[in-house]
Amino acid sequence: MAKIKPRVKVPKSAAAGEIVEIKALISHPMHTGRAKDKKTGKKIPRKIINKFVASFDGQDVFTANFEPAVSANPYIAFPFKASKSGAFTFKWVEDGGAEFTASKKMTVA
């Protein structure tokens, strides 16, 4: 299986009050539990990223709950109003509780 790797895009700097777009993607097969393995004919058990949490300076700002209907390599884009410099932390939670994180700093001038 491909390695699960998060990728995020946050502007390095922003003007105060500017609404910036944050993009986050994680490479993950998002097994729905419905598809079959072509070699063995057995069902691949469900394993998806079910939750995404974005926080800024320790405060949760945006969360997304994913269902199996979300595509492989789940991508999410959302707005954020820049008001002060700080660091974003992104967390993805997989079925079974495994967590993947990434963080990015943003400077507000």
Other beta carbons within 10 Å of 59:
8
- The answer to the question of residue 79 lying near other proteins (CB under 8 A) is yes
CA pair distance 102, 75, nearest whole angstrom: 14
User: Minimum Å distance from CB 63 to other proteins?
Assistant: 4
Of the pair 4, 62, the CB lying nearest other proteins is at 62
Q: Does 99 bind other proteins (CB under 8 A)?
A: no
Nearest one of 73, 72, 82 to 106, comparing CA atoms = 82
| CA–CA separation, 45 and 90 (whole Å) | 26
Whole-angstrom distance, CA of residue 75 vs CA of residue 72 = 9
Residue 88 within binding range of other proteins, rule CB under 8 A: no
**Cβ of residue 79: shortest distance to other proteins, in angstroms?**
4
User: x/- binding map, residues 30-69, to other proteins, per CB under 8 A?
Assistant: --x-xxx----x-x------------x--xxxxxxxxxxx
Length of the chain measured in residues = 109
Residues that bind other proteins (CB under 8 A): 19, 32, 34-36, 41, 43, 56, 59-72, 74-81, 83
